[in-house]
Structure 1
Amino acid sequence: MEENPRAYALQTIYKKIYKQLWSLNLPSKVKVTIWRLSWNYLPTKVNLQHRKLAANTSCPRCGQRAETMNHVFRECPVTVDIWRALSFQNILTNQCEDFIQWLTWAVEQLNPRQGQIFYCTLWAVWGDRNKRVHEGKVSNGKDTASFINSYIKELTDFENRDLKKGKEIRKWMYPQSEFVKINFDGAYKETQNRSASGIVVRDSEGHVLLSYSKIHDGVSSPFAAEAIACWTAVKIGIDKGWQSLIFEGDSLAIIKRCNTKEQDRLMVGTYIYDIQKKIFGLNNISFQHTSRSANNLAHILATATLRSGEEVYLEMGVPEYVEDQERQDRMREPN
C-alpha cells in the first residue's frame, strides 16, 4: 500500500474530518467512500501492485503517471478539470506531497456547504474512475462536474422537502406475532475512541424482554460503533435462542451490509462477517432499517450509558430513565 501513518496518529488527524463528514447531508455510500479513502483502502493501481494484483500502475484515465491517491484526486488532468468546473481550483494550490495532509488542509478551508460539495466530488471522482476501468465509460471534467451539481441539488431538494413537511415522526412498530424485535443503536465519543451499544428486545405485544447496554473501548468511528452495536444485538438474540428475529437499527449502511452476502473489506468487516456466521442456516432472521425516532429507546440507552459509564442488564424491564419512552412506544398502534 502507499504510505499509511499509524492508526492512532490517523485517528487524531481525522477527528475534524469525521466530525464534519458525519454531520453533513450526504448518503452513506458517499461517507463510506470518504472513510475508505482516508485510510487508503481504495484499490488504486499502485495499491494493487503492492498487493501483487496488478503489474501496470498507470492511471486508467490519463495514462500519464502512476495511479496514486494523490494522482486520482489531485493531479490527474480529468480531476483537475472537475475541480475547475466546480470553481474549487483553490484547493489545488497546496503543494504538499502528502495526501493526508492535503485532505485535512482542504477540509479546514471549507464551510459545511462547501464541504458537502468537496466530499461528494471525491466520491464522484472515484466513481468516474471505476466506470472507466470496469465499464469503459469515458467522461470529461465538465460532465462529472455537472453530475455533482445535479446530485447536490437533489440532496438539497430532499432536505428542503422534509423541512417543509415538518417533523414527521415515525413510530416504533410491533413485530409480527411469531417474531421478537431487537432494536440496537451505537453512541460514539471520539475524544476517547469509546462507544456504547444500546439494545432493547420486545415481543409482538410490545413487552420488553431485555434491555442491555455495553461500553466498548478502542472504537475508531461512529460507523464502527453502529457495527459493534449490531453485532452485540445479534449475539444476544442467538445466545438467547429466539427463533424468529428482527434486528432493527437506524444505520442504513450497517443494515445493508448485514443483508448482503458479499465480503465486506471495510474495517468493520470482521463484525459483519461474524454476524453472518452467527445467523448462517437460520431462516426467520431479518435486518430492517428504521428512523431515529422509531429507534429512540435503544438510542437513549446507548447515549446514557456512554455518558454515565454505567452498563445495563435488565430482564422484563428498562431503566427508570427510559420508562417514559418505553410507555410511548407501547402506545403505538400495532402494525
Structure 2
Amino acid sequence: MKAPNKVKVFAWRVIQECLPSKQNLLKRKITENANCPFCNFPIEDCTHALIKCLDTRKVWQRLMPNIYELNAASTILDVALQMLHRGDEGLLSRFFLIAWSLWHRRNKWAIEKVMLDPFQVANNAINTFKPCLQARVEPSYTMHKTGCWQVPPHGFYKLNVDAALFFDLKKAGVGGVLRDERGEMVLAMSKAEHELHDPESVELVAILRGLQFILQLGIRKIVLESDSLLMVEALKANQDSLSLQGNMLKEVKNMMNCFEEKKVQHVCRSGNQVAHTLAKHAWSIPDVELWMGLVPAFLSQVYWLDSQNVRVENTL
C-alpha cells in the first residue's frame, strides 16, 4: 500500500481492531459506555466509527460511493479485503487515508470537543498526500484472489506467522506454523513477548521467532507468509531500512539467506487464521509452547477449516 507510514500503522491497528474505540475502552474498563460520540449508537467499534456512523457515511457516499453501497453486515476488514482482491493499491490507499482523517476528526470531538467538518478533513488529507495516491506501483507480493490458505509448491515448506497485542496485560503474542506441501503441520509455536507495544515491531518479531524455531530443522526451501503487508514489503526491499526496526530486519534477511530457495509473500487475514490463533493463545502462557507434528486442541477447528479450503499454489 502506497501511503505514509503513520497511515500504514493506522491501517494495521484498524484491521487488528485495536484502536481505542469506545467498545475497546469499555472492555478495558476505561469508560462506562460504548456509545458513539457522534450518533449515540450503542456500540462504537472500529467499523462503526469509520464507515457505519451516519456522520462518516456521508463522506463515503460522496468520495468513495462503492464503500457507501456495501451492505450493513460488512466490517471494515471485509471492505479492505474487497479492495485487495481487486488488486487496486491506489483504492486501498485512498480508503485508509480517508479513514485515518475521519479517526482524527473523531478524536478531536471525543477528546477535545472540537467539531471539524468531515468533508474538510477528508479532502485536506487527500490533497496533502496526493502524490502517494497518484503514484501507482505493482504489488511486490503474490496477490491471491481467494481467501483460503494454500499449500506451498512441491519441495517447499510454508511458514505462516502472526502477532497479537494485549494492551491490558502489557505484552504481545506471536505465533507461527510450519506446513509441508501436503498441508500437514510440521511445527507450531506460540510465544509471549513482553514490553512490545509497537505494531510494526511485534509483527517483525513474529517473523524472527518463526525463523528461529525452524532453522534447526534443516529445511532447504521455504515460503514465508505474513498478513502484515508493511513487513512483507520491508523484507522484499533491496535497500537497508533506517527505521527503528532496521537491525531486526537485517537479522531476518540474514536468516532467510540460510535457505537455498526462499519466498516472502503477503496473505490476507482469512488465509492466516492458524498463525493468528496461535498468536492469540500467547495471552494465556508465561513464555513459549511448541508442538511438533501434533495439532493442539484449541487449534483443531481453524486447522481443519484450512484443510477443507486448501488450494494448491502452482507457481512461486
User: Per the shorter chain, which TM-score range?
Assistant: 0.5 to 0.7
CA deviations on 1:139-178 (whole Å, 9 max, x unpaired) are xxxxx45938x959xxxxxxxxxxxxxxx96000010110
Structure 2 portions without partners, runs of 5+? 1-6, 16-100, 135-144
Q: Compute the displacement of 1:306 (Å).
A: 1.9
**Aligned residue type for 1:217:** H
Using the alignment, how far apart are the partners of 2:173 and 2:270 within structure 1? 19
Using the alignment, how far apart are the partners of 1:219 and 1:278 within structure 2? 22
**Aligned residue type for 1:265:** L
* C-alpha distance 264-146 of structure 1, shift in aligned 2 (>3 A): closer
Of structures 1 and 2, the larger Rg is shown by 1
Q: Partner of 2:312 in structure 1?
A: 334
Secondary structure of residue in 2 paired with 1:195: strand
Is the counterpart of residue 324 in structure 1 residue 301 in structure 2? yes
Q: Partner of 1:238 in structure 2?
A: 215
Q: Partner of 1:7 in structure 2?
A: none
Q: Partner of 2:274 in structure 1?
A: 297
Is the counterpart of residue 259 in structure 1 residue 236 in structure 2? yes
Using the alignment, how far apart are the partners of 1:115 and 1:305 within structure 2? 42
Q: Compute the displacement of 1:107 (Å).
A: 9.0
**Aligned residue type for 1:333:** R
**Aligned residue type for 1:147:** K
Give 1:179-258 correspondences, 5 Å limit. Answer: 179-258=156-235
Q: Partner of 1:130 in structure 2?
A: none
Q: Partner of 2:291 in structure 1?
A: 314
Structure 1 portions without partners, runs of 5+? 1-16, 26-87, 92-103, 125-143, 153-167
Secondary structure of residue in 1 paired with 2:255: helix
Q: Report which structure shows greater RCO (CA 8 Å, sep ≥6).
A: 2
Using the alignment, how far apart are the partners of 1:181 and 1:212 within structure 2? 14
Using the alignment, how far apart are the partners of 1:311 and 1:116 within structure 2? 48
Using the alignment, how far apart are the partners of 2:240 and 2:189 within structure 1? 29
CA deviations on 1:279-313 (whole Å, 9 max, x unpaired) are 23644011110010100000011112224547321
Q: Compute the displacement of 1:237 (Å).
A: 2.7
Secondary structure of residue in 2 paired with 1:274: helix
Q: Compute the displacement of 1:20 (Å).
A: 6.5
TM-score (norm 1): 0.53
Q: Compute the displacement of 1:273 (Å).
A: 1.0
Q: Compute the displacement of 1:314 (Å).
A: 0.7
Q: Partner of 2:41 in structure 1?
A: none
Using the alignment, how far apart are the partners of 1:259 and 1:244 within structure 2? 17
CA deviations on 1:91-144 (whole Å, 9 max, x unpaired) are 9xxxxxxxxxxxx979945799969957984xx8xxxxxxxxxxxxxxxxxxx4
Could you tell me whether the CA contact under 8 Å between 2:190 and 2:281 is conserved in 1?
no
CA deviations on 1:262-286 (whole Å, 9 max, x unpaired) are 1112222222110112223644011
Q: Partner of 2:34 in structure 1?
A: none
Using the alignment, how far apart are the partners of 1:116 and 1:200 within structure 2? 45
Q: Compute the displacement of 1:322 (Å).
A: 0.9
Identity of aligned residues (%): 18
Secondary structure of residue in 1 paired with 2:220: coil
Give 1:96-175 correspondences, 5 Å limit. Answer: 108-109=111-112, 121=125, 144-145=127-128, 147=130, 170-175=147-152
TM-score (norm 2): 0.56
Q: Partner of 2:249 in structure 1?
A: 272
Using the alignment, how far apart are the partners of 1:300 and 1:272 within structure 2? 24
Using the alignment, how far apart are the partners of 1:318 and 1:248 within structure 2? 20
Could you tell me whether the CA contact under 8 Å between 1:202 and 1:210 is conserved in 2?
yes
Using the alignment, how far apart are the partners of 2:161 and 2:116 within structure 1? 29
Q: Partner of 1:156 in structure 2?
A: none
CA deviations on 1:31-65 (whole Å, 9 max, x unpaired) are xxxxxxxxxxxxxxxxxxxxxxxxxxxxxxxxxxx
* C-alpha distance 106-171 of structure 1, shift in aligned 2 (>3 A): same
Secondary structure of residue in 1 paired with 2:151: coil
* C-alpha distance 111-295 of structure 1, shift in aligned 2 (>3 A): farther
RMSD after superposition: 3.9
Could you tell me whether the CA contact under 8 Å between 2:160 and 2:272 is conserved in 1?
yes
**Aligned residue type for 1:251:** S
Could you tell me whether the CA contact under 8 Å between 2:163 and 2:173 is conserved in 1?
yes
**Aligned residue type for 1:246:** V
* C-alpha distance 174-263 of structure 1, shift in aligned 2 (>3 A): same
* C-alpha distance 190-240 of structure 1, shift in aligned 2 (>3 A): same
CA deviations on 1:62-96 (whole Å, 9 max, x unpaired) are xxxxxxxxxxxxxxxxxxxxxxxxxx9xx9xxxxx
Give 1:59-98 correspondences, 5 Å limit. Answer: none
